[in-house]
Amino acid sequence: MGTWDIGHFDNDTAADFGGTIDDTPADQRADVLAETLRRAAATDGFLDSHYGAQAIAAAALIAAQCPGGEPITTAYGPKKALPELPVALRPLAVEALDQVLSEDSELVELWGETSDLAPWREGVERLRQTLTAANA
């Protein structure tokens, strides 16, 4: 896993995902985010780190548009502005993050081998809280 920090786009997979979003026509970007989140949320069993990292990146993009959401300021995220995303993506993003944070997640396993598990988990849980609050 090419990871250099705990940020939502601070790994090769998420950075590549940001490029994919930029390469997708604006009217199809929400569909790419939805499919990414569905894949993670629907995982029955072990969630591969690749899909987990993409789900976190997708959730971060959605959370950035929520009240109190943190803007994406990293150079590794999409460079192009996203259109206003459907609010229906928010609960799907929460479901995907629940899978990412589960015991059956390779990301939890990999981060558990480092001293950064707690701050990484806190960052993902903040995303989840932002998305959950926006659905209330």
Per-residue pLDDT tens over the stretch 59-84: 999 999 999 999 999 999 999 999 99
Q: What is the mean pLDDT of residues 79-102?
A: 96
Q: What is the pLDDT of residue 68?
A: 92
DSSP annotation of 70 reads P
In a domain, 2, yes or no: no
Q: Which residue in 23, 81, 27, 110 sits closest to 56, CA to CA? A: 110
Q: What is the pLDDT of residue 1?
A: 47
Range of the domain at 46: 12-135
Please give the tally of structural domains in the chain: 1
How large a percentage of the chain has pLDDT more than 70? 99
In a domain, 32, yes or no: yes
In a domain, 59, yes or no: yes
In a domain, 5, yes or no: no
Q: What is the mean pLDDT of residues 35-47?
A: 96
In a domain, 3, yes or no: no
Q: What is the pLDDT of residue 2?
A: 76
Query: What is the C-alpha to C-alpha distance for residues 26 and 48, in angstroms, rounded to an integer?
Result: 28
In a domain, 31, yes or no: yes
> Residue 89: pLDDT band by 50, 70, 90 thresholds?
very high
Statement: residue 31 has pLDDT above 50: yes
In a domain, 101, yes or no: yes
Kindly report the backbone phi and psi dihedral angles of residue 3, in degrees, each rounded to the nearest multiple of 5, phi listed first: -120, 135
Kindly report the backbone phi and psi dihedral angles of residue 48, in degrees, each rounded to the nearest multiple of 5, phi listed first: -60, 145
In a domain, 84, yes or no: yes
Total-model pTM: 0.96
Instruction: Give residue for tokens 């705990």.
Output: 6
